[in-house]
Chains A and B, each alone.
Chain A
Amino acid sequence: MTQRIVIPFGPQHPVLPEPIHFDLVLEDEHVVEALPTIGYVHRGLERLIEKREYPEYVYIVERTCGICSFIHSLTYCQGIEQIMGIEVPERAHFLRTIWSEYSRLHSHLLWLGCFADGIGFENLFMGAWRIRESILDVLEQTTGGRVIQSSCKVGGVRRDISAEKLDQMARDLDGIQKEIEDLTTVFLQDDSIRHRLKNVGVLSKEDAYHLGAVGPTARGSGVAIDLRQTGYAAYDKLHFEAVTEKDGDCYARCAVRARELFTSIDLIKQAIAKIPEGPVDIKVTGAPNGEYFSRSEQPRGELVHYLRGNGTKFLARSRIRTPTLTNVPPLVKMIQGCELADVPVIILSIDPCIGCMER
């Protein structure tokens, strides 16, 4: 009988910018069991709701994540607006959608770069991050911030984008699209990458669904869950199909993100073409009294903000369920049965955001 040994993986590891730990039970080089441990940097942000008035809490919420910060603030604001019955101007919904998709572009490009770095393809890493810079430039020009934008508020958005700037953004996206085509061609067709990712970390469609996988982790296994289909913000005015792959391996999850870059560009162009004139915010008075589970589609998947107001300026509860937390059980299943050398690639393939998870 082969002797079993336990190898600690993480919390510090070259492929992990943030801490997560696995106890890997091995038979030779074969992983037979994986036990995750999180909670190394839990920040307790949710309890700050008791000390910050609900309009101020937007600044806390968007600091849950240093990548998808805008979508956190959008999800929170939408929840408060639903509880208070606030009708946000239509233009604000479109601006929120545009910034959400730029956030998705920047997040997916960041991940593609990190993933390339993780498999030792440094040139591709630099190529992905070079394109990401042009996305961050637009976010900075239109909101004032590269990753922490603070442009979303309860009742609308803080900034408008001029018609000239929107036209320029649409034109620039044509050039960015061409660059992304060149980049993703390498990701999806290069032999060395296919060899490294194909049939590695396979998650079946049934496991993905019942274990709670969301985002590209679920869609890579053929589960077409994309909360944008529920029509929040301005998504009900735009047309798109959820990107799915069916193989459920690391390559499929990579391919979903690569193809979603083009979906995001298309959605931004549609939003720019359809954005109406008008105000971008309304004055908000009063305090929320009620509860709502506000859901949205982050780059990593379904995000849930549970919000409960008690009629005062301070909410009674804010609970943030991030996509990485719910992607941990599917990750455990992916690792079981793989080779030890594949573990870093498989962990990277769910695009783990520990900062989000340890909110």
Chain B
Amino acid sequence: MKYEAQTTTLVEVGRLIGRVEQFRSDGCRLVQISATKNGEMYEINYSFDKDYKFENIRITIPIDQEVPSISGMYWGAFVYENEMHDLFGIQVKGINIDYKGNLIKTTIKYPFGAGAVLKGEKP
């Protein structure tokens, strides 16, 4: 059994595009983008892979901060970025295909976001 080595690097929002451009020029593929609620902040992980070497960069943003889209470099990123918006309420600027909240249909707006109250929960 082998566990793969993984690295996570913290990046400022303003440097995100530059770092992603570097991954793209290095020939890495985009594995996934995901958001995690952490108190009053969101953490967003961008994961890349090349030859089974897994690298992750992370930005941390306040709940109401907008993040730039990376779909200009990785065209397929639109599914993850629209998903982040629809589930968490994170505003992503400049998505190549912007569904404006209509990619994932949920009965509760932003069900994974801060302040979301699910069935059976107390507000």
User: Interface of A with B (CB < 8 Å)?
Assistant: 35, 37-40, 42, 44, 46-47, 78, 82, 88, 90, 93, 209-212, 227, 229-234, 236, 291-293, 295, 302, 304, 306, 308, 316-317, 319, 321, 325-326, 328-330
Contact = CB atoms under 8 A, between A and B. Distances in A.
B9 interface: no
B65 interface: no
Nearest to B56: A293
Contacts of A326: 31-32, 76, 79
27 contacts: A35-B97, A37-B99, A37-B103, A39-B105, A39-B106, A40-B105, A88-B1, A210-B75, A210-B76, A211-B75, A212-B29, A212-B30, A229-B52, A232-B4, A236-B1, A292-B6, A293-B6, A293-B47, A304-B31, A304-B32, A317-B37, A319-B36, A325-B79, A328-B79, A329-B75, A329-B76, A330-B76
B52 A44 contact: no
A212 B105 contact: no
A44 B36 contact: no
Nearest to A306: B34
The majority secondary structure among interface residues of chain B is mixed
Contacts of B111: 44, 47
A325 B81 CA distance: 12
A209 B34 contact: no
A47 B112 contact: yes
Contact of A39 (B30, B32, B104): B104
Contacts of B47: 293, 304
A328 B104 CA distance: 14
B31 A42 contact: no
Interface in B63-86: 74-76, 78-79, 83, 86
Contact of A46 (B3, B97, B112): B112
Interface-central residue, A78, A304, A329, by most chain B CB under 10 Å: A329
Interface string B94-107: 00010100111110
Given A232-B1, A233-B1, A319-B34, A42 B105 contact: yes
A2 B20 CA distance: 40
A230 B32 contact: no
B10 interface: no
Interface of B: 1-4, 6, 8, 29-32, 34, 36-38, 45, 47, 52, 54, 56, 74-76, 78-79, 83, 86, 97, 99, 102-106, 111-112, 118
Contacts, number: 96
A203 to B, nearest CB: 12
A88 B2 CA distance: 12
Contacts of B79: 38, 325-326, 328-329
A44 B106 contact: yes
A316 B36 contact: yes
Given A90-B1, A210-B76, A326-B32, 18 more contacts: A39-B86, A39-B105, A44-B118, A88-B1, A212-B74, A212-B76, A233-B1, A293-B47, A295-B54, A304-B31, A317-B36, A319-B34, A321-B34, A325-B79, A326-B31, A328-B79, A329-B76, A330-B76
Contact of B31 (A82, A234, A302): A302
Contacts of A230: 2, 4, 52
